[in-house]
Amino acid sequence: MSRLFGTDGVRGLANRELTAALALGLSQASAVVLTKGHHADARRAEGRRPVAVVARDPRISGEFLTAAVCAGLASSGVDVLDAGVIPTPAAAFLVDDIGADFGVMISASHNPAPDNGIKFFAFGGTKLPDEVEDRIEAAMADPQLMPIGGDVGRIRRFADAEDRYVLHLLGALPNRLDGIHVVLDCAHGAASAVSPEVFTDAGATVTLIGADPDGVNINDGVGSTHLDNLAKAVLEHGADVGIAHDGDADRCLAVDATGAVVDGDQIMAIIALAQKERGALVGDTLVATVMSNLGLIRAMADHGITVRQTKVGDRYVLEDMNEHGFTLGGEQSGHIVFADYATTGDGILTGLSLVARMAATGKSLAELASVMTVFPQIMINVRDVDRSRAASDEGVAEAVRRFEAELGDTGRVLLRPSGTEPVVRVMVEAADQATADRVAHALADVVRERLAL
């Protein structure tokens, strides 16, 4: 049987794969697994029940899924603080801020409105490792906690959840944003209330798009996966910068005053240099994934910053940061982690930090982003092949070596087997688009021929 948990919690089409019954069972199992440990034992010794923070994005299915999750937790003896609609990083922050035993976020991030998902945060607001997720999945088949009387959990509104998060974000800023005109695209998602509030409180002039969630319009032609409208709005309003979130606001992409896209790699380059200048970049090291552009690695090296690369996924970035004590990391997609202030990617904090750098230096976003030359990058998904042989087939390996030798230090080649499909992803970077296209298609042909099913 396939694993229930994916790369970022449990996701599926709401009311089909992700049902109220599944949400109930998951929450009951999480109560068994996530209320163990010294913090939970200390709470029980004081005669108190375990506590969980529950939050969601504004998609309509989040209402019934939240009800099911809260019911499952309370029926298992867990007190629930319902934070309502807030960003994923806000939920993670609140778990840590109040010392809750764990947290639950109901969101499908950048997916369309019919989808939804459930992810868990451990004590301290950190994402769960695979083995803990596996324990929750296994616990769904075991007897559940069934307290009675006064041992049943209570469900209460987390009244000051948003205020706590706003104050936290403002406290993380190195300087105010006065004099900067920002267009915010909130993806009709979880950032629609809090992001405009905090940017305004920090001194920016704010123009809003994508900030009218109705339960079904989340990510619909707006947000970080649809930047055209943001670019148009920046040009129309003569703004200095555009900031785009996804549905749960754990990522951020930007456009400059000309409407040009500034991706996660460029944002990381700008913020890494700012942190190094302040002496805040531990080990003068940035943690990124293997998908980050060669231009980022080159630019950071020119400024004495080492780039460590992990497998694709913000969880692997986080693991490396936590293991070695680094303070900044992220992905090209805009998931950026500030370890001093967050336990997961925070799109609002990323946007604030980017605009703060503009305000502090007096430079445009285009000027700041020019520190990095983006190498042309092409990705080809080669389908219906035996992904298990991608790393062992000698013909594929020989082709990779040949193209790597051709590119030298002006490009790179990366093969990534899919974790779930008969697909091998071929990624090539080169000094010019024509070379990247030629090499990528030639290598894809080799993979298609050698690994055919």
Catalytic residues: 109
Own/partner pairs for 204-209, CB < 8 Å, 24+ apart? 204/177, 204/178, 204/180, 204/355, 205/180, 205/181, 206/182, 207/181, 207/182, 207/183, 207/233, 207/237, 207/239, 208/183, 208/184, 209/183, 209/184, 209/185, 209/233
User: What are the backbone dihedrals phi and psi of residue 85, each rounded to the nearest 5 degrees, phi first?
Assistant: -85, 110
Cβ distance 29 to 146 under 8 Å? no
Residue 396 token pair = 């594929």
Distance CA 36, CA 283 (A): 35
Q: Which residues pair with 52 in a beta bridge?
A: 80, 102
Distance CA 51, CA 183 (A): 38
Distance CA 429, CA 380 (A): 12
Angle, helices 61-74 vs 20-34, to 10°: value is 40
Distance CA 263, CA 125 (A): 26
User: What are the backbone dihedrals phi and psi of residue 446, each rounded to the nearest 5 degrees, phi first?
Assistant: -65, -45
| Radius of gyration of the CA atoms of the chain, in A | 23
How would you list the strands of the sheet with 261-262, edge to edge? Answer: 205-209, 181-185, 241-245, 252-256, 261-262
| Dihedral, 14, 108, 74, 147 alpha carbons, nearest 10 | 80
Among 114, 127, 92, residue whose Cα is nearest residue 7: 127
Distance CA 137, CA 125 (A): 20
Residue 378 token pair = 């092409």
Helix/strand/coil percent split, the chain, to 5? 40, 20, 35
Beta pairing, strands 241-245 & 252-256: antiparallel
Distance CA 230, CA 237 (A): 11
Angle, helices 347-361 vs 194-201, to 10°: value is 20
